[in-house]
């Protein structure tokens, strides 16, 4: 896997009803990283220092971010992580929910507000988003590929160069329609 600033994260989350929920998330800007580099790097350091690593890191990263930002006094307030960084992560993420006419595309925050994804799903999505976006930003580029490849396999995530609308267009949009009864002719 080649890590590139233009790559976007795809998260596949198996729902309790057996359906698949897909999230497409873009990386944060350099300006956002420059503004929140300290809690981001403290989060990654705490995850790996505490031996959570790629196994549990994506599950707890958003909780660790909160803990580290609170220690630094950067969680609360209008410019804090809670009010400025987490909304930016959510703004850059879109949920693709299968519907009768293909995949419906919604901003993550809208899907949360409309209760289209439950609290457990939100928790898992935000953990993965914080983990992968944070690691992407602070880990040396020569180490990114190896770490993120292994983590991606464990956590059902992929990287794509496709924008959210390009990715949405690439998804299978077939619906359950009755068979026409026609059969394809054999080719010899």
Is residue 4 very low, low, confident or very high in pLDDT (cuts 50, 70, 90)? very low
Alpha-carbon distance of 1 to 74, in angstroms, equals: 33
The pLDDT assigned to 54 comes to 74
Beta bridge partners of 159: 9
Residues whose CB falls within 8 Å of the CB of residue 94, separated by 6 or more in sequence, listed in order: 23, 24, 25, 105, 106, 107, 108, 164
Domain ranges of the chain: 10-170
Residues 99-103 have a mean pLDDT of 77
The pLDDT assigned to 146 comes to 66
Q: Are 9 and 157 in contact (CB under 8 A)?
A: yes
Alpha-carbon distance of 139 to 44, in angstroms, equals: 9
Tell me the pairing of strands 102-107 and 93-99: antiparallel
Is residue 169 very low, low, confident or very high in pLDDT (cuts 50, 70, 90)? low
The pLDDT assigned to 182 comes to 47
Is residue 185 very low, low, confident or very high in pLDDT (cuts 50, 70, 90)? very low
Of the candidate ranges 25-29, 80-84, 85-89, the one whose mean pLDDT is the lowest: 25-29
Residues 1-30 have a mean pLDDT of 77
Of the candidates 43, 73, 36, the one whose C-alpha atom is nearest the C-alpha of residue 58 is 43
Q: Are 65 and 81 in contact (CB under 8 A)?
A: yes
Alpha-carbon distance of 47 to 43, in angstroms, equals: 6
The pLDDT assigned to 180 comes to 46
pLDDT in tens, 133-163: 888 888 766 665 666 666 666 666 776 666 6
The pLDDT assigned to 3 comes to 40
The pLDDT assigned to 15 comes to 85
pLDDT in tens, 24-80: 998 899 999 999 999 999 999 999 887 777 778 888 999 999 999 999 999 999 999
Q: Mean pLDDT of all residues in the chain?
A: 80
Of the candidates 92, 114, 113, 119, the one whose C-alpha atom is nearest the C-alpha of residue 11 is 92
């Amino acid at each position: 896997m080649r890590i590139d600033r233009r790559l976007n994260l795809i998260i596949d989350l198996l729902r309790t009803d057996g359906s698949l929920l897909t999230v497409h998330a873009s990386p944060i800007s350099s300006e956002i990283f420059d503004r929140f580099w300290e809690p981001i790097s403290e989060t990654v350091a705490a995850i790996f220092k505490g031996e959570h690593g790629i196994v549990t890191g994506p599950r707890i990263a958003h909780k660790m971010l909160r803990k580290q930002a609170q220690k630094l006094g950067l969680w609360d307030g209008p410019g804090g992580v809670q009010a400025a960084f987490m909304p930016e992560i959510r703004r850059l993420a879109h949920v693709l929910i299968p519907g009768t006419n293909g995949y419906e595309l919604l901003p993550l925050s809208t899907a949360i507000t409309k209760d289209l994804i439950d609290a457990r799903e939100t928790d898992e999505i935000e953990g993965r988003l914080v983990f992968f976006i944070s690691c992407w930003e602070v880990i040396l580029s020569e180490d990114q590929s190896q770490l993120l490849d292994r983590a991606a396999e464990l956590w059902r995530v992929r990287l794509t160069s496709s924008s959210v609308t390009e990715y949405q267009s690439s998804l299978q949009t077939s619906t359950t329609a009755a068979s026409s009864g026609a059969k394809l002719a054999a080719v010899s």
